[in-house]
Amino acid sequence: MGSRRECTRILGLEGYRVEQLEWEAESSRARIRIWIERRGIRGYQCSGCGRRTWRLRDAKVRTWEDLPWAAHRVTLVYAQRRVRCRTCGIRTERVGFADGHARITRRLRQLIGLDCQSMPTSHAAVRHGVSWSKARRAEKAFLTDWDQARPRRRPRHLGADEIHRGKRQKFYTVLSDLVHGEVMGLAPERTEESLAGLLTTCLDARQRAAVEAVCTDMHRPYANAVAQALPQATIVYDKFHVLQHAGAALDEVRRPEFFRAGPVMRQFGRGKRWLLLRRWNTVRGSKRAELCALFAANRRLFKAYILREHVDQLWTYKTRNGVATCLWNWLKALRWQRLPEMEKLGDTLVTHFDGIAAFCDHPVRFGVVESLNTTIKGVIRRGRGMKDETMLLLKLKWATARPIRSSKDLAKFLYSDVHSNR
Ligand SMILES: [Zn+2]
């Protein structure tokens, strides 16, 4: 056994020295219990207010899991004092190497939390020799710390969207920062209250004042919530949601055509639904020929398809007048076609014209909205659903903010100074 001084140096906890090492068993992978004691102290710190005092009440021996020494797991043992604080009364002493009620040291927590971002919690738990719940708690503390230390940004464009969750609780409302592509908040349900609550709690007054536009789908309660919480912000309707409506209208045209059609036509139309819903420039080769054959057999479908193809031209204009002209031409092409489903779509486009044309003044990045949705669904699926909403939000923030983009970032998380008191 080396000298106690060397052990103290290896352990490397500022303000503590090693008193004694204790092997729990004789095997080559036995756990080491390291008894530590304070050194060079100027009083004990109250865990409530942080003030130092010498007035002690008693001490209780507690243990913390720490980083391993080679193949040996390490448990730190320390007689934690209870102090009589002038303002807080009787409190436990604050220790520099661990969080308040944590049973693992802060540097081990950092490592587990970081591992959990790239492997399942159960694997990280085995890797570091702790239980699953301990690993999960460590992960949560790690993510909370990271989230609180981040600067609060003031995005110009926000996104509000719903995420389908499952059978019992149907939806989540997700608030995101579309400039930086990050999730900002999460609330259950998709009501006016849930979005209004998010806009007031996730954003402070300065952040709210900086918002110029909010990108939402054509869901009425969201528009109301934005008008209420951010009166100066413009609503921009999400292009992909509008196109979804167009696709649904096309599908509505298709359905009766085939129910009404004779056996020959039905032969043509079988299994063509997804082909029909695809955009023309993504269809290639023999599939294109199939689509042409279908259109040759049914002109109504052809017209509806062409109209659907032209909807996304609404977003190619730089001025409101341009958008208005485009929509007018679209409606003109619809006349005398006897396509009630498409006419309904036309009505929708007209009533939501302001939100569609607002894109000219506020070019929101629609691609970010889509990529965020994909990431969110990925996180939920990987966790097989998640009961803890705070944890889910933290996970989403981490996944979308992607704080580790280089080896330097990783090193910052691995070797950051987490031993000091905050
Ligand atoms: Zn105190």
Helix (H, G, I), strand (E, B) or coil at 48: coil
Ligand 1 center–CA 201 separation, angstroms? 30
Condensed to tens digits (0 to 9), the pLDDT of residues 318-342 reads 888 988 898 898 888 888 778 888 8
Ligand 1 center–CA 13 separation, angstroms? 24
Quote the crossing angle between the two packed helices 106-116 and 132-149, to the nearest 10°.
90
Q: Are 149 and 345 in contact (CB under 8 A)?
A: no
Ligand 1 center–CA 32 separation, angstroms? 33
Ligand 1 center–CA 53 separation, angstroms? 9
Helix (H, G, I), strand (E, B) or coil at 173: strand
Ligand 1 center–CA 83 separation, angstroms? 8
Ligand 1 center–CA 117 separation, angstroms? 36
Ligand 1 center–CA 75 separation, angstroms? 28
Ligand 1 center–CA 88 separation, angstroms? 4
Task: Find, among 392, 416, 318, the residue nearest to 143 by Cα.
Answer: 392
Neighbours of ion ligand 1 (CB under 5 A): 46, 48-49, 85, 87-88
Ligand 1 center–CA 418 separation, angstroms? 23
pLDDT tens, N- to C-terminus, the chain (422 residues): 558 899 999 998 888 999 999 998 888 888 999 999 998 888 899 998 989 999 999 999 999 999 999 889 999 999 999 999 999 999 999 998 998 888 999 999 999 999 998 898 999 999 998 899 999 999 999 999 999 988 888 999 999 888 887 777 778 889 999 998 899 998 888 888 888 998 988 888 888 899 999 998 888 888 899 988 888 889 899 888 888 888 888 888 888 777 776 676 666 667 777 887 888 888 888 888 888 888 887 788 888 888 888 888 888 888 889 888 988 988 888 887 788 888 888 888 888 888 888 888 888 888 888 888 888 888 888 777 677 888 989 999 999 988 888 898 888 888 776 544 44
Q: Are 66 and 104 in contact (CB under 8 A)?
A: yes
Condensed to tens digits (0 to 9), the pLDDT of residues 146-177 reads 999 888 889 999 998 888 877 777 788 899 99
Ligand 1 center–CA 106 separation, angstroms? 22
Ligand 1 center–CA 38 separation, angstroms? 19
Q: Which pLDDT belongs to residue 78?
A: 95
Q: Which residue shows structure tokens 């085939």?
A: 258
Ligand 1 center–CA 7 separation, angstroms? 32
How far is the C-alpha of 15 from the C-alpha of 37, rounded, in Å? 9
How far is the C-alpha of 269 from the C-alpha of 298, rounded, in Å? 10
How far is the C-alpha of 370 from the C-alpha of 331, rounded, in Å? 28
Helix (H, G, I), strand (E, B) or coil at 12: coil
Ligand 1 center–CA 91 separation, angstroms? 7
Ligand 1 center–CA 90 separation, angstroms? 8
How far is the C-alpha of 289 from the C-alpha of 373, rounded, in Å? 33
Q: What is the largest CA-CA distance in the chain?
A: 96
How far is the C-alpha of 409 from the C-alpha of 90, rounded, in Å? 41
How far is the C-alpha of 141 from the C-alpha of 283, rounded, in Å? 48
Q: Which pLDDT belongs to residue 142?
A: 93
Ligand 1 center–CA 413 separation, angstroms? 31
Q: Which pLDDT belongs to residue 418?
A: 53
Ligand 1 center–CA 45 separation, angstroms? 8
